[in-house]
A and B are shown apart, each in its own frame.
Chain A
């Protein structure tokens, strides 16, 4: 299964709707970078509202894809992290410290527009 990536104006929108296995996570990393390249967007919002746990592997894949997107010139905002996910990530020792976040998709898009200065 591949995660759908939608283009909306100057952004890409990704909503992860099901539990990520390793293959899907790695495929997503590649697909997102390819899509940034094809569309020349300057921002990405990744919505995790439906995700009920994140382990260190998925956290690494996410953190890496954010860094990779930044390298290409696209800013990434993560939205919708559930309380249980925030708690377990911090207990794992993973703060995702330099990552832009917002409470939901709408706020995420607003934050992205601010970051992009538009």
Chain B
């Protein structure tokens, strides 16, 4: 079972909206303050990447119930330029925009599960899940 809500990311304000949505869902499901911060931060990183590198996309937040155990799934989907070398973008410090290059490797560490799929010229799909302990 899963209940989804989405935010379209076009400008900087949408990044704020996406992370507020995520924090509310995390709170509602009973996540503590540290996990709420992890989930909010992960959403902020993925939403900003859509804004910076794809121009436009969507952040969707799913409430998961896996055998009664709640979880939050973040999906970041865009039809931007895609990523040709996934290993490279997962390295700490790699950035093509003068950023810290901490976003993608950081999201992987902040969350329990992380999946990235990207086709150059077609777009990028990232899914990250956090389970309530």
Chain A residues with CB under 8 Å of chain B are 19, 21-23, 52-57, 59-60, 82-85, 87-88, 91-94
Please, which residues of chain A bring their CB within 8 A of the CB of B102?
Answer: 56, 59, 92-94
A93 touches B92 (CB 8 A): yes
Q: Which of A19, A56, A83 contacts B106 (CB 8 A)?
A: A56
Contact A93 B106 (CB under 8 A): yes
> CA of A52 to CA of B40 in the docked complex: distance in angstroms?
9
Confirm or deny: B112 has a beta carbon within 8 angstroms of a beta carbon on chain A.
no
Whether B36 lies near A21 (C-beta < 8 A) is no
- On chain A, the residues within 8 Å of B109 by CB distance are 91-93
Binding-face segment, B11-19, B70-78, B81-89, B118-126: B11-19
Cβ contact within 8 Å between B106 and A21: no
Judging by beta carbons under 8 Å apart, are A84 and B13 in contact?
A: no
Does B48 lie within 8 Å of A19, measured CB to CB?
no
A55, B99: Cβ atoms closer than 8 Å: no
A-B pairs with beta carbons under 8 A, tally: 77
Chain A residue at smallest Cβ distance from B98: A60
Interface pair B100/A59, CB less than 8 Å apart: yes
> B33, B36, B41, B99: which contacts A60 (Cβ < 8 A)?
B99
**CB within 8 Å of A: which B21-48 residues:** 33-34, 36-38, 40-41, 44-45, 48
CB-CB under 8 A from B34, the residues of chain A are 83-84, 87-88
Complex alpha-carbon distance, A19 and B103, angstroms: 19
B57 nearest CB across to chain A (Å) = 17
Q: Determine if B55 is an interface residue (Cβ-Cβ < 8 Å).
A: no
B50 within 8 A of A: no
Sample of 13 further A-B pairs with CB below 8 A, known A57-B99, A83-B34, A94-B106: A53-B40, A54-B41, A55-B44, A55-B103, A56-B45, A84-B36, A84-B38, A87-B38, A88-B41, A92-B106, A92-B109, A93-B105, A94-B102
